[in-house]
Amino acid sequence: MTDLTRTDAVRRHDPAVRGFASDNYAGVHPEVLAAIALANGGHQIAYGEDDYTAHLQDVFRRHFGETAEAYPVFNGTGANVVALQSLLPRWGAVVCAESAHIHVDEGGAPEKMGGIKLLTVPTPDGKLTPELLDQQAWGFGDEHRAQPLAVSITQSTELGTLYTADEIRAITEHAHQLGMLVHVDGSRLANAAASLGQPLRAFTADVGVDVLSFGGTKNGLLFGEVVVVLNPEGVRNIKYLRKTSMQLASKMRFVSVQFEALLSGDLYLRNAGHANAMAGRLEAAVRKIDGVEVVRPAQANAVFAILPREVSERLQKRYRFYFWNEHTGEVRWMCAFDTTEADIDAFAEAIAEEMGRA
């Protein structure tokens, strides 16, 4: 007779080990794990017709307004591809920052899977402005040029910077005047909310954003993101695009219940606010170390710094993190919801030790 309580799984990692490479390295928040267990058992209709996904619509409308529609998907790249496809005809293009995740870190998925031309703009801080948008928002009606019909911004940006609500409003108003729609890549939108001290809708729905990708994996979820439609008149066919983009989960209740746990209370702010605070602690600590140059203020949960390459390479043998710019030696250190003050202090001490050997 089979013992249904038996498992051959064993823990294959040391849970005390921490890294600073990505907030995706972190595990799952206990409240999220509890929510998944709550949704388990019995049968629920597949492909999003379950009770949890139905309730999730109310959760997102509380945060983003009565017209918001939530479409859970598997991952951030899928969310971005689905959202951007919903804004464009076959001949459409998206204007984005040169450093945008959709351009740099998604393996060409928007182009390959979505058939979307990306028109990139160099930016000093990862942020677009109406003036920068105009560098690519031209050639309307020219059949020889991919038509710039959408703009995508990232909040917080790949460089760890934040848009204010007024900055986003300026972009959306300018884009809409040009006949363009606006997408926000919000894989770290909760970090922005925690840092700005504003509700999620204040710098999305209330300032004219048409559709956004809302992140959960970087903020304590096991897996899952949500495409959030804020302008149902301008954003169409999401449910068909989600399926044809291979982002329709059969057991969607287990994605939806995680976001319910994250957003029904203040878990999204607690997790993101803590990650931001740890980045602030790390920034303050490394600024005191001679020879370490903090490239820009830590506005969310990322710290960018330049130090001697040989120091970074020695340090990588002790802690995981990535080079951000191979040419300049700039590195990125990310903090997560489970990063502790002791983690930060130990890492800063290790940086000081390696700098002392330089």
Quick one: three-class SS letters along the chain? Answer: CCCCCCCCCCCCCCCCCCCCCCHHHCCCCHHHHHHHHHHCCCCCCCCCCCHHHHHHHHHHHHHHCCCCEEEEECCHHHHHHHHHHCCCCCCEEEEEECCCHHHHCCCCHHHHCCCCEEEEECCCCCCCCHHHHCCCCCCCCCCCCCEEEEEEEECCCCCCCCCCHHHHHHHHHHHHHCCCEEEEEECCHHHHHHHHCCCHHHHCHHHCCCEEEEECHHHCCCCCEEEEECCCCCCCCHHHHHHHCCCCCCCCHHHHHHHHHHHCCCHHHHHHHHHHHHHHHHHHHHCCCCCCEECCCCCCCEEEEECCHHHHHHHHCCCCCEEEECCCCEEEEECCCCCCHHHHHHHHHHHHHHHHHC
Whether residue 259 sits in one domain with residue 290: no
- If you average pLDDT over every residue of the chain, what do you get? 96
pLDDT digits (tens, 9 = 90+) for 330-356: 999 999 999 999 999 999 999 999 999
In this predicted structure, what is the pLDDT of residue 182? Answer: 98
In this predicted structure, what is the pLDDT of residue 216? Answer: 97
Residue 20 in any domain: the answer is no
Whether residue 298 sits in one domain with residue 225: no
* pLDDT of residue 2 exceeding 80: no
**Which of 197, 229, 263 corresponds to the end of one domain?**
263
pLDDT digits (tens, 9 = 90+) for 61-75: 999 999 999 999 999
Whether residue 332 sits in one domain with residue 307: yes
**Which of 263, 278, 310 corresponds to the end of one domain?**
263
**Which of 240, 263, 286 corresponds to the end of one domain?**
263
In this predicted structure, what is the pLDDT of residue 5? Answer: 66
In this predicted structure, what is the pLDDT of residue 9? Answer: 86
Residue 4 in any domain: the answer is no
Whether residue 222 sits in one domain with residue 289: no
Whole-model pTM?
0.95
16 compared with 123, residue with greater pLDDT: 123
| Structural domain boundaries, residue 36 | 30-263
In this predicted structure, what is the pLDDT of residue 253? Answer: 98
- Tally of domains within the chain: 2
Whether residue 116 sits in one domain with residue 80: yes
* pLDDT of residue 218 exceeding 80: yes
Whether residue 335 sits in one domain with residue 244: no
Residue 161 in any domain: the answer is yes
In this predicted structure, what is the pLDDT of residue 246? Answer: 97
- How much of the chain, in percent, has pLDDT values that exceed 70? 98
Residue 2 in any domain: the answer is no
Whether residue 156 sits in one domain with residue 120: yes
In this predicted structure, what is the pLDDT of residue 4? Answer: 61
Confidence category of residue 194, pLDDT binned at 50, 70, 90: very high
Residue 349 in any domain: the answer is yes
In this predicted structure, what is the pLDDT of residue 71? Answer: 98
Residue 8 in any domain: the answer is no
Average pLDDT, integer, range 63-89: 97
Among 6-20, 99-113, 221-235, 261-275, whose mean pLDDT is lowest?
A: 6-20
